Chain A
Amino acid sequence: MEFFRIRKDIPFMRHALKFNIVSLVTFVAAVFFLFWNGLNLSVEFTGGTLVEVNYAQPADLEKVRGAMAKAGYGEVAVQNFGSSRDVLIRLPLQAEQATAKAGEAVMAALDAGAPGATLRRVEFVGPQVGKELAENGAMALLLVVIGIVIYLAFRFEWRFAVSAIIANLHDVIIILGCFACFGWEFSLSVLAAVLAVLGYSVNESVVVFDRVRETFRKARGLTTPQVLDHAITSTISRTIITHGSTQMMVLAMLIFGGETLHNFALALTIGICFGIYSSVLVASPLVMWLGVSREQFVKVKRQIEGANADGAVV
């Protein structure tokens, strides 16, 4: 079986500007949603209490809400979690003493108003933890960015490093933008997915860049856009197949992983789709505009005194 038989390099670079405009528009939209809607942060970041209960029959959310209201909980979010029998109750942070006991209090309230619930899990996160998690997340992102830039600059060229990281940070912003736009919950595992995708997408750029370097060394007399076109075309089969395989795994998580893994898999899906796009169609034009050329990869032969134009001496 063979999906890709490309007998001629696809002139990606001719359309570089168009791709970049598309990127820019998506990026601006993502930033807009991030500021407009903000991220729907999970309890882990905001602090608060989360109680998951399970009913033998499909749960009556109104009844649960009523029970909670009767017990004096004002701002409570009650929703189904995964199935109609599982209910997730979210409480905001309350006065210090009450928070630690919230789990038991909720169960007591449910027993009174909407009996038959069994406790599945309770999560209580104090206000100190959330802030720290957000800071650590930002630090992790920074470390990944710096680490990757240094490694790529060392292995390739600073131009590659800079364009790869810009392209992939643009992915990260777009993932976050999607989460903000649709109001999906942004939890710690989503953060892990985002960072994993960042490392993974850089892979993609690395594979293309590797081929760019190789083509520069091997083929003479080609313009930079031609080299880039060739590198992308000859790796596109691998790009699609690899991402397809990874996506199959992520799809399995999306289907079988239940509610807990749902957003994790969702972040990965967006990351993988945009990863292909950005590392091929954003990173490569950036490299071109940053002025990559053959001389940066081919060692300039030492000039020997008196040698002719070919460098030959007798």
Chain B
Amino acid sequence: MSETFRNRLLLLVALALAAVYLFPLYWMYITALKTGSEMFRTPPSFWPDEPQWAIFPFVFQLKGMAQFLWNSVVIASGSVALIACLGTGAAYVLARYRNVWVDVGLFLVLMLQVLPASLMITPIFVLFTLTGLLDFPRTAVVLAIAAKSMPFFIVLVRATFMSVPMELEEAALVDGNSRAGAFWSIVLPLARNGILVSAILIFMQAFGEFVYSKSLIQEIELQPSSVGLNAFMGPNTNEWNRIMAFASIYVTPILATFVLLQRRIVSGLTSGALK
């Protein structure tokens, strides 16, 4: 088997896998563009006869998506801000100090990541009810997401900090800076890429978060898009094209961000985003 033939075969396999993986996405977009009758046709059509572009502004208006998307952005930004502030400090400490307590801390952080949201929601709900936090539902969701996603952020950013040589910090100390000053002017700029990439990943996770938002937010006008989309579907739903239009409007910005930043994200995940 020649080199080129093998490469072509592997490319073919990769394309086939990508097609399988991306099929639902493709189906979402074309279903949104189909008319009601075309949607239920058998055999199904793989390209809409008359693309219904008007469905996007229609659904956007009908469902008040501006408010849903705004709530998603508020919740995701709040979570990222909280996680980045607390998580960066925690990751730095876990990266720079080596002793039994740090190992125990790291173990607990990793343990937290294992617990599923659906398991955690009941105790969180009870706790937030008791403390009155449910009166501020979006804040409550931000806190819950921060608790859930912080470990992931800490693990990623810790790796980034570990790739910044200790000697650079020591040079800054000898050059006359304080520990905090050295952190701000030397370590943080060098770890910036890794932190940014981790923050973007957290943002995307939080943007699509469902379990906590669904459970903690009762008022429709405070719910994020994920919950709004869910409310669209009932036992007798047949408006698949509208649901898919909603979904398209919801995920397209996230997809676009990922495609634009994917090079940095991938390098950030693998190399600690340095150099």
Bound pair: A and B?
no
